[in-house]
Structure 1
Amino acid sequence: MRPPAFVAKLRDVVGLYLDPPKRAVVFSVDEKRQIQALDRSQPGLPLKKGRAGTFTHDYKRHGTTTLFAALDVATGRIQHACLPRHRRDEFLRFMTRLERRVPKGLGLHVILDNYATHKTPEVAQWLRRHPRVHFHFTPTSASWLNLVERFFSELTTRQLRRLAVTSVAQLEAAIHGYVAHRNADPRPFTWTASVHSILAKVRRANKTLASLH
């Protein structure tokens, strides 16, 4: 049995996906932390007929960056920034820029996980100064509810996994390039699961786990 707080947050987030509010923009926001600028010590073998491409697992490390990303749930467009750290200050800098880019007269509903940076007193003060911005937190241990995670997975698979760079600047340029390419033909990630179907899956999973003990 899931606690009431889990169900309430689940209903809140899924409701934004399936029945978004009028005169508002819904964003799915998160950070992909500590992305490493990696240079492979040896080049991989290219993809050939009958053989998958290969790449070495021996790396030289050249620093890290943190990707802040906001997925516009309706359009699929990505707002992003690469910053050296992922503290409260960087989060608020990103949110301030995001808020300024949304036309006046529209509300902002922002889906976030429960990372401590998103819940500091300074963030609460920022929200009071920006009353059109509303935060909606996913249930604990349910970051899979945040659609921007699908973008991070796509970025990793299609760009970062085989990328070889010798500096953070090159890494960030590759990320900027990928986002620009995606935004040229944006495609939203469609959410279809209802609250009822999610809770039913959770109950089945709990029964399966219980039967193993």
Structure 2
Amino acid sequence: SARSLAKAVGLSHTSVQRIWAAHGLKPHLTKTFKLSNDKQFVEKVTDVVGLYLDPPDRALVFSVDEKSQIQALDRTQPGLPMKKGRAGTMTHDYKRHGTTTLLAALDVATGRVIGECMKRHRHQEWLKFLRLIDRSTPKGFDLHLIADNYAIHKHPAVKAWLAKHPRFHMHFTPTSASWLNQVERFFGLITGDRIRCGVFKSVAQLEAAIQDYLDHHNADPKPFVWTKSATDILEKVARGRQALESQH
């Protein structure tokens, strides 16, 4: 803090604050980051961004993933509604009523989401979801799925199923690069808009709320607009690595 540093160096805390401001320093803030060490980072970034900016003809591109361990949380006491001069309230403690997992496929071109809640997220559930995608899309189109490196996406049973369904093409993001998967942005929206602020007395109630959100979203979907080229991303990552190496 400004006061603790001021005490250590023998200045007033206002002097410390002025020095920090003059040099653009904000010691109270810390940003998190993680640079991928994937050996195929360049190839995977180029592949995924290419699908976003220049999708293949006669094909649909989906960003897919699981949002696991979504908790059905009930508050221990009723909250108060928002009114003039006061925010809405809810208790800091809660009762757990179980969890569910949302499997979602975001159509990159339209913003529409194919989603289903399941009790677990093993390769069996992943296969069930792939079949749902297969049923929910026009048969004359290839399907390009962008996914992370979670083990169930590469399970032998999944690979065998994909081999029998050649219109499916898997594209994997680099490790530690979930920001490259657009469906993560949708997960952020549903968490902030519906899940985090909700009160759920059962898993069934939570799943009904998620389905209602999906229906409302799909009634007027809007795609996320990807603007960064693969070159822009790779240059920024290279600058990040250079900055790290210069400090260590």
Please give the TM-score of this superposition, normalised by the length of structure 1. 0.95
1:186 and 2:221 aligned: yes
State the Cα distance separating 1:4 from its structure 2 match. 5.3
SS of equivalent residue, structure 1 residue 74? coil
> What is the aligned partner in structure 2 of residue 108 from structure 1?
143
Percent of residue pairs bearing the same amino acid type: 64
Question: Shift in Å at residue 211 of structure 1?
Answer: 3.5
Separation in 2, partners of 1:176, 1:191: 26
How many positions carry a matched residue from both structures? 213
User: Is structure 2 residue 103 aligned with structure 1 residue 62?
Assistant: no
Q: Does 1:208 align with 2:243?
A: yes
2:123 pairs with 1:91: no
SS in 2 for 1:166: coil
Distance 1:97 1:138 in 2: 22
> How many Å separate the matches in 2 of 1:211 and 1:160?
42
Distance (whole Å) between structure 2 residues aligned to residue 112 and residue 199 of structure 1: 20
Question: Which of 49, 59, 73 is equivalent to 2:108?
Answer: 73
Match of 2:211 in 1: 176
**Native 8 Å contact 2:147 2:171 kept in 1:** yes
| Distance in 1, Cα, partners of 2:88 & 2:246 | 42
Contact 2:55–2:61 (Cα < 8 Å) also in 1? yes
- Residue 25 (structure 1) aligned with residue 56 (structure 2): no
Residue 73 (structure 2) pairs with residue 42 (structure 1) = no
Could you give the per-residue CA deviations for residues 105-148 of structure 1, whole angstroms, max 9, x where no partner exists?
11000000000000011011001110010000001111110100
The residue number in structure 1 matching 2:167 is 132
* Structure 1 runs not aligned, ≥5 long: none
Structure ranking higher on relative contact order (CA contacts 8 Å, 6+ apart): 1
**2:38–2:174 CA contact under 8 A, matched in 1:** no
Q: 1:106 & 1:50 partners in 2: Cα distance? A: 54
Following TM superposition, by how much is the alpha carbon of 1:166 offset from its aligned partner in structure 2, in angstroms? Answer: 0.7
Contact 2:38–2:175 under 8 Å retained in 1? no
**Segment of structure 1 superposing worse, 81-90 or 51-60:** 51-60
Opposite residue 210 of structure 1, the aligned amino acid is E
1:34-58 deviations in whole A, cap 9, x for unaligned?
1010001123333334443332220
Q: Cα distance 1:203–1:45, how it changes in 2: closer, same or farther (>3 A)?
A: farther
**Structure number with bigger Rg:** 2
Could you say if the C-alpha distance between residues 50 and 99 of structure 1 is closer, same or farther in structure 2, counting changes exceeding 3 Å?
A: same
- The two structures have a TM-score, normalised by structure 2, of 0.82
CA contact (8 A) 2:61 2:109 kept: yes
Q: Secondary structure at the match of 1:179?
A: helix
| Secondary structure class of the residue paired with 2:228 | coil
Q: Which residue of 1 aligns with 2:180?
A: 145
User: RMSD of aligned C-alpha atoms?
Assistant: 1.5
Q: Within 2, Cα distance between the matches of 1:102 and 1:138?
A: 23
Moved more, 93-102 or 201-210: 201-210
